[in-house]
Structure 1
Amino acid sequence: MAIITLTTDLGYKDFYQAALKGSILSLMPQANIIDVTHSISAFNILQAAFVLKNAFPYFPKGTVHLIGIDSVYNENTRYLAVKYKDHFFVGSDNGIFSLMFEGNQPEEIVELNIMQDLKFLHFPLTDIFTKASCHIAAGGELKDIGIPVSGLEEKMTLHPVIEKDTIRGSVIYIDSFQNVITNISKELFNKVQQNRAFTLYFRKNETISQLSWHYNEVPEGEKLCLFGISNHLEIAINKGNASGLLGLHLGDIVRVEFK
């Protein structure tokens, strides 16, 4: 059964996501529609890229991922269908693809040339994106719905800075449990650490000097750090609100010192 995932900033209050799903089912009644999330902050491609980058590898190859972030018509923005690691992505070329793929090149990129229905000009998700996603999910080729292009709109993220025995990173995501996720990857941490002791410094002069394997490794209400499912360094409180209680917000600086 064809799988189409949805990642949007449409929320759950209005009829928009229902209209999107209805438009897919009208073209492909047998489609298996999976919500990744509709709770992305409005127009926040950084947040959407982080969520989908960490979610899509768990889906079967051949899955189609429809991305509805900042997709309203703009004469300067291309609509693309992209094949990457045997998955397919449909969305606006607004930088989200470059953020998700982190410099890796897709196998195929086409600029969609599906005729726009003018009554959906302000809501291409239910028109161009839906048609493209259903075409791909049915086994159709990208070249039949678009013109091959090279290159993607580039968006840069802040990368951790390495200074001798220190990594300076920042908060890039706060999940629904209020766990605080940084841009320090497990690979980078291990590369700099080289089996040395460390101290993680962050807001309010808080520190953590030991990695945990899971959230329940410390007593309830105690802070911890670990590498979660995203393979990025997280700051958490066991069954608590790390972001609120520790005063950590998006963009805040964290520092890891090794000795």
Structure 2
Amino acid sequence: MGVITLTTDLGHRDFYQAALKGSIISQLPEVRLVDITHEIPSFDIQRAAVVLRNAFHYFPDGTVHLIGIDTVFQEGAHYTMMKFEDHFFVGADNGIFSIILGDKTAQELFEIDIMQDLRYLHFPLADILTKAACHIAKGGALSEIGQPIERPLKKVMIQPLVDNNTIKGHVSYIDSFGNVISNISKELFNDVQLGRGFKLHFKRNETISRLSWHYNEVPEGEKLCLFGISNFLEIAINKGHASRLLGLHQDEIIMIEFLDTPRR
């Protein structure tokens, strides 16, 4: 039984999500469908990539991840299938594959070669992309429905600016708890810190100078920073909504200043 996950910007108000699922079940009745999220802001491939990169490896190898972001019909559109870390990804070649890959390489990469059904002209997600996802979920080879390509459309997430004593990053994601997730990875932080103390600066002249291991390490209502499940630096408030209470929103600048004193 194949597993297909869904990551889309379709929301829950309209019929689009139901039509997508109906199309998949009609082709593969025994499929196991899993919603990752349908609440990605419209056309926001960077937000979708953040969610997928943090979720996909919890699924078994061979899972097919169907990406429904920016898939509306347009002349000259390209649709891509990718095998990466023994998972499969299917979606529009709009840059999201290059963001998911980062500096890594796909195991297989194909442009989908499936005829558009004119009945679904404005909804290729429920036509071309579901056919590809179901084909893969049934064990079909990518080469049977596509042509190999060397690389996907290239788009790069904004990277932190680094020197010997500072890392300047930005807010890349805010989760449903209000935790503010940056684009500063644990690996980068450790590489620059080198055992030194630090101050994390952000909006309203707020600072944090200590890493926590978990959210309950500080009293309720107090702010903290930690490397959470995503392995990127988070700003949070214990049992509070950090984004709202600290005035931190998508793309806000944050800065880490490393001090000459040893870390505490």
Q: 2:249 matched to 1:249?
A: yes
Aligned to 2:57: 57
Q: Deviations over 1:198-240 (max 9, x none)?
A: 1100000000011111111111110000001110000000111
Aligned to 1:94: 94
Aligned to 2:225: 225
Give the Cα–Cα distance (whole angstroms) in 2 for the partners of residues 76 and 150 of structure 1: 18
Q: 2:31 matched to 1:9?
A: no
Identity of counterpart residues, as a percentage? 63
Shift of 1:134: 0.5
Shift of 1:9: 0.2
Give the Cα–Cα distance (whole angstroms) in 2 for the partners of residues 167 and 34 of structure 1: 37
User: Letter of the aligned partner of 2:223 in structure 1?
Assistant: K
Give the Cα–Cα distance (whole angstroms) in 2 for the partners of residues 22 and 87 of structure 1: 23
Which stretch shows the higher mean deviation, 99-108 or 231-240?
99-108
SS in 2 for 1:49: helix
Q: Mark the runs of 5 or more structure 1 residues left unpaired by the alignment.
A: none
Q: Deviations over 1:137-182 (max 9, x none)?
A: 0000001111111111011221111122111111111011111000
Q: 2:221 matched to 1:199?
A: no
Q: 2:50 matched to 1:74?
A: no
Q: Mark the runs of 5 or more structure 2 residues left unpaired by the alignment.
A: 260-264
Shift of 1:109: 1.1
SS in 2 for 1:176: coil
Give the Cα–Cα distance (whole angstroms) in 2 for the partners of residues 119 and 85 of structure 1: 35
- For residues 47-196 of structure 1, the aligned pairs below 5 Å read 47-196=47-196
Q: Deviations over 1:56-114 (max 9, x none)?
A: 01111100000000001222331011111111110000000011110211111111111
* TM-score where L is the length of structure 2: 0.97
* TM-score where L is the length of structure 1: 0.98
Give the Cα–Cα distance (whole angstroms) in 1 for the partners of residues 210 and 103 of structure 2: 32
SS in 1 for 2:224: strand
Give the Cα–Cα distance (whole angstroms) in 2 for the partners of residues 77 and 229 of structure 1: 35
Give the Cα–Cα distance (whole angstroms) in 1 for the partners of residues 253 and 25 of structure 2: 45
User: Letter of the aligned partner of 2:111 in structure 1?
Assistant: E
SS in 2 for 1:197: strand
Aligned to 1:21: 21
User: Letter of the aligned partner of 1:120 in structure 2?
Assistant: Y
Give the Cα–Cα distance (whole angstroms) in 2 for the partners of residues 55 and 91 of structure 1: 17
Give the Cα–Cα distance (whole angstroms) in 2 for the partners of residues 227 and 164 of structure 1: 21
SS in 1 for 2:211: coil
The number of residue pairs the alignment matches comes to: 259
Give the Cα–Cα distance (whole angstroms) in 1 for the partners of residues 77 and 151 of structure 2: 13
User: Letter of the aligned partner of 1:145 in structure 2?
Assistant: I
Aligned to 2:236: 236
User: Letter of the aligned partner of 2:237 in structure 1?
Assistant: I
